[in-house]
Amino acid sequence: MKLLLLLSVFVGLGWSQTADHEHTVGLTNGRYWTTLNRSEQLGFEVGYSEAWHTLHGWKTDSDGFPKNVTIGEVVTGLNQYYSAPENLIVPVSTALRFWTKKFQGEDPMEWAKELAESIRYWHLSQRS
């Protein structure tokens, strides 16, 4: 039942009928994220968090979803990440992974290099 509820959240928020530019290779991206109001962003992240932890457990050092932060802090972090227009094409799941690495203190130079490679990858994936 819990899994069905989680899937309903994703279907309702993530895969509803939205413009094609709000998806990158079928995944909701920053363009979609920035259309949501704060309450919708919080709901999206609650659903994502529950699904992540249901599938992966409550790992302490996971780079997929941060532990020991509030959903509000995650939403604020994603809003900061998506404030740079070049990041809008990046899927929300990837943006969350990058924000988590930054939050966990990854070397800033390594983080910036990985981010640039990721943005390039997502822009190229849209051309095919």
- 19 band by pLDDT with thresholds 50, 70 and 90: low
- Average pLDDT rounded to a whole number, residues 73-97: 92
Which residue ranges make up each domain of the chain?
2-6+20-127
Q: Is 0.95 surpassed by the pTM of this model?
A: no
CA distance 15 to 26: 9
Collapsing DSSP states into helix, strand and coil, what is residue 23? strand
Pick the closest to residue 29 from 37, 38, 19, 43 (CA basis).
19
Is pLDDT above 80 for 53?
Answer: no
Is 47 buried (19+), middle (13-18) or exposed (0-12) by CB count in 10 A? buried
Q: Quote the pLDDT of residue 13.
A: 52
